[in-house]
Amino acid sequence: MNLNQITVPVIDVERAIKFYEQLGLLLIVKSLPHYARFQCPEGDATFSLHQTNTLPIGDGTWIYFEVKNLDDYVQLLISKGFIFEELPNDKPWLWKEARLKDADNNQIVLYFAGTNRTNPPWKIKSP
């Protein structure tokens, strides 16, 4: 099994397209006003948006994008006008993360984990 894509709800797909393109995703499907799909610049994963009239209540969706040069990338986004809730910082789970939200309150986490993404020191050992 391989994760193909994540789809998140948004009120205005066209507005969200602009945000995610500026974030660095590559638009590959544009079916306004209801849907858009992006390809990540690295790997095979895709990310999509679907129009909804009502957004989830509570914490909603958290989306993680791994970026190798996190500090430089965050500075680039800040220069484009992105506002971060949390600048890059080291987490106890051995990831470095920066956080921001899109216009629909979806939590975006830009991070770098390297080998700790799938092989943290506390990884469960196979029998």
Q: Indicate the pTM of the whole model.
A: 0.92
Chain-centroid distance of CA 63 in Å reads 4
pLDDT tens profile 78-122? 999 999 999 999 999 999 999 999 999 999 999 999 999 999 999
| CATH number of the domain where residue 35 is located | 3.10.180.10
CA distance 102 to 10: 9
The reply to whether 29 falls in a domain is yes
Which residues are CB-contacts of 17 (< 8 A; sequence separation ≥ 6)? 27, 30, 36, 49
pLDDT tens profile 48-59? 999 999 998 888
Reported confidence tier of residue 126, pLDDT bands at 50, 70, 90: confident
The reply to whether 105 falls in a domain is yes
Instruction: List C-alpha distances in Å: 28 to 19, 37, 57.
Output: 15, 6, 29
The reply to whether 58 falls in a domain is yes
The reply to whether 24 falls in a domain is yes
Q: Which domain holds residue 87?
A: 5-116
Domain count, the chain: 1
Query: Please, what sign has the CA dihedral across residues 78, 65, 10, 5?
Result: positive
Is residue 43 within 8 A of residue 85, CB to CB? The reply is: no
The reply to whether 43 falls in a domain is yes
pLDDT tens profile 16-62? 999 999 999 999 999 999 999 999 999 889 999 999 999 988 888 89
The reply to whether 80 falls in a domain is yes
